Amino acid sequence: MKKLISTIMLTLLALSLTACAGVGQKEQVSVKCPACGYTGLADIYQP
């Protein structure tokens, strides 16, 4: 019985960690400077 509970708890822990792994990762939006055409301004311009 202890083995079953340990396996269930380990599975729930693994599922909870993998569910949070993708949170917070945004796809980078390409922001282009209208004056010079430089496209690396995603860190400067924030919506």
At 21-42, the pLDDT tens digits run 665 556 666 777 778 877 776 6
What pLDDT, on a 0 to 100 scale, did the predictor assign at position 34? 78
Transcribe the chain into DSSP letters: -HHHHHHHHHHHHHHHHHHHHTTT-PPPP-B--TTT---B-TTT---
What's the average model confidence in pLDDT over 3-21? 86
What pLDDT, on a 0 to 100 scale, did the predictor assign at position 39? 76
What is the pTM assigned to this prediction? Answer: 0.43
- For residue 46, pLDDT beyond 80: no
